[in-house]
Amino acid sequence: MFQEFKAFIARGNVLDLAVGVIIGGAFGTIIASLTGDIIMPLISSLTGTADFSENFIRLGAIPADFAGDPNSYAALKEAGVATLGYGAFITAVINFIILAFAVFLIVKNANRFFKTLEPEAAPASTPEDVLLLREIRDSLKK
């Protein structure tokens, strides 16, 4: 069993996958920073709130023993108050769209790059039956 695991781990695909996961995690952090530190503050300035992820609608009652800020989404969520956190959801959707677009651009450019590395295929030879049919056609024309 150990030998099978060793052979599996040594395969190039597993190593490529591991590298992809590590780079993907780092790339996700960059996208989260882009969204949280650049894009969402711009949206927040348009909506008039300091932190767009703090936009929410409280659906439930605040417990009597609640000592936190009633205007803080994180504090209310931690206290178990039912809230509709549309700001956090919109932030997550924007993160996804940016990440999906960046991956699309990477894959598109990688495909273009790999296409240039492929040697041009020689034109396929004409099948023998087609050549025979052409000869018959040419003979009939004469």
Mean pLDDT throughout 63-90? 87
Compute the mean pLDDT over every residue in the chain, rounded to the nearest whole number.
83
Task: Kindly state the helix (H) or strand (E) to which residue 58 belongs, with its residue range.
Answer: strand 57-58
Q: Does domain 2-141 have CATH number 3.40.1440.60?
A: no
Q: H/E/C letters for each residue in 82-117?
A: CEECHHHHHHHHHHHHHHHHHHHHHHHHHHHHHHHH
Band of residue 122 on the pLDDT scale cut at 50, 70, 90: low
When mean pLDDT is compared across 45-59, 68-82, 92-106, 127-141, the lowest value belongs to: 45-59
User: Average pLDDT of 56-75?
Assistant: 87
pLDDT at 50 over 70: no
> Could you tell me the pLDDT band of residue 137, with boundaries at 50, 70 and 90?
very high
